Chain A
């Protein structure tokens, strides 16, 4: 997919564990893994908002558009 999820990068910068973010955002660790591995087909605005609030960042810090990707 042309949209790349840089959640693992943001988690590393904030020194936060995936498990803690999942708990704070209110999604399952499995769903967070789907998001991190780029398998997600869509992300709800409410989930994105919660992630941005927890990581103190903008949606653009998490989502990146790469035209070269299939």
Chain B
């Protein structure tokens, strides 16, 4: 594949992925709200993880509101990650691949991923407290856990940091190449 075709491919795919990120970002909050609003009517497979902690499979509205607020912690971090990722794809769509803006974008993306990882860890105790808020005294659950998904996210953060540094080197080489007569 020659450079021109490659750049065209990057622009085209960048445009598609930018739209996907935008649609996902717009859908995050409404879908989370919809999930908790319709929680009591959802099939058991979709509510199993929450229902096992609560004394009743039917959650009152105020508990679902608390659950929604707890869910918003990782959801907002995910939203920020999607928007940062979208910005990167906007740059790719415009054909900007080795600029300072790309490097800054990768750095911001790594920070957003870190925020998402931390928010995911925080979500476990928050959701436990929210789901069991209506339970009788002594039956509230405060759980704290670190699973493979959180560890995988930290790994992705490290990868993003390395890619940001590689991109910075690429930008330096690109500038040098552009100023070679």
Contact = CB atoms under 8 A, between A and B. Distances in A.
A12 interface: no
Contacts of B180: 40-44
Interface string A24-44: 000100011011000111111
A47 interface: yes
Secondary structure of the B side of the interface?
Answer: mixed
Given A31-B181, A32-B181, A40-B179, 13 more contacts: A34-B179, A34-B181, A35-B181, A40-B180, A41-B175, A41-B176, A42-B176, A42-B181, A43-B180, A43-B181, A44-B180, A44-B181, A47-B181
Interface string B112-139: 0000000000000000000000000000
**Range for the number of chain A residues in contact with chain B:** 10 to 19
A-B interface, 8 closest residue pairs, ranked by CB to CB distance from nearest: A41-B179, A42-B180, A31-B181, A35-B181, A41-B176, A40-B181, A43-B181, A40-B179
Interface residues of B, number: 5
Interface of A: 27, 31-32, 34-35, 39-44, 47
Interface in B122-181: 175-176, 179-181
Nearest to A39: B179
Contacts of A44: 180-181
Nearest to A35: B181
A12 to B, nearest CB: 19
Contacts of B176: 41-42
17 contacts: A27-B181, A34-B179, A34-B181, A35-B181, A39-B179, A40-B179, A40-B181, A41-B176, A41-B179, A41-B180, A42-B176, A42-B180, A42-B181, A43-B181, A44-B180, A44-B181, A47-B181
A34 B175 CA distance: 13
A70 to B, nearest CB: 17
Contacts of A40: 179-181
Nearest to A47: B181
A31 B175 CA distance: 13
B170 to A, nearest CB: 15
B103 to A, nearest CB: 19
B47 to A, nearest CB: 61
A17 to B, nearest CB: 18
A43 B176 CA distance: 11
